[in-house]
Amino acid sequence: AQSVTQPDARVTVSEGASLQLRCKYSYSGTPYLFWYVQYPRQGLQLLLKYYSGDPVVQGVNGFEAEFSKSNSSFHLRKASVHWSDSAVYFCVLSARSNNRIFFGDGTQLVVKP
């Protein structure tokens, strides 16, 4: 079965602190993986994507993510968060076998000043 799990529904961090948002996936092969961000009252926007190669991928606004096949994970990181990073973050798997897309339930990030 193909699925994405974001175990943390809500994460609260202080501005300037480091951040990790967790994502675990279930897929028999190597999937395409994405992180999208959704700011209030807006559509989703791509942060970064992983296709193959270097397991650490860089995204916009200082975000990066690391793919781990052994752990079936694709965690999102940022060294120092800003209040404007407050949003909902979705981890997304795209299955190479059937082109279907699976969204995690999202993690609400709250950055305290």
Partner 1 sequence: NTKITQSPRYLILGRANKSLECEQHLGHNAMYWYKQSAEKPPELMFLYNLKQLIRNETVPSRFIPECPDSSKLLLHISAVDPEDSAVYFCASSPHGGLSNERLFFGHGTKLSVL
Binding stretches for partner 1 (CB under 8 A): 32, 34, 36, 41-46, 49, 51, 90, 94-96, 98-101, 103-106
Question: Residue 66 carries which DSSP code?
Answer: E
How many angstroms separate the CA atoms of 63 and 50, rounded? 13
| Smaller CB separation from partner 1, 101 or 110 | 101
* Shortest Cβ 87–partner 1 spacing (Å): 13
Do 4 and 93 form a contact (C-beta atoms < 8 A)? yes
Give min distance, CB of 52 to partner 1, in A.
10
Q: 30 or 80: whose CB is closer to partner 1?
A: 30
For partner 1, which is the closer residue by CB, 46 or 79? 46
Coil vs helix vs strand at 8: coil
DSSP 8-state secondary structure symbol assigned to residue 85: G
Tokens 């501005």 label which residue?
15
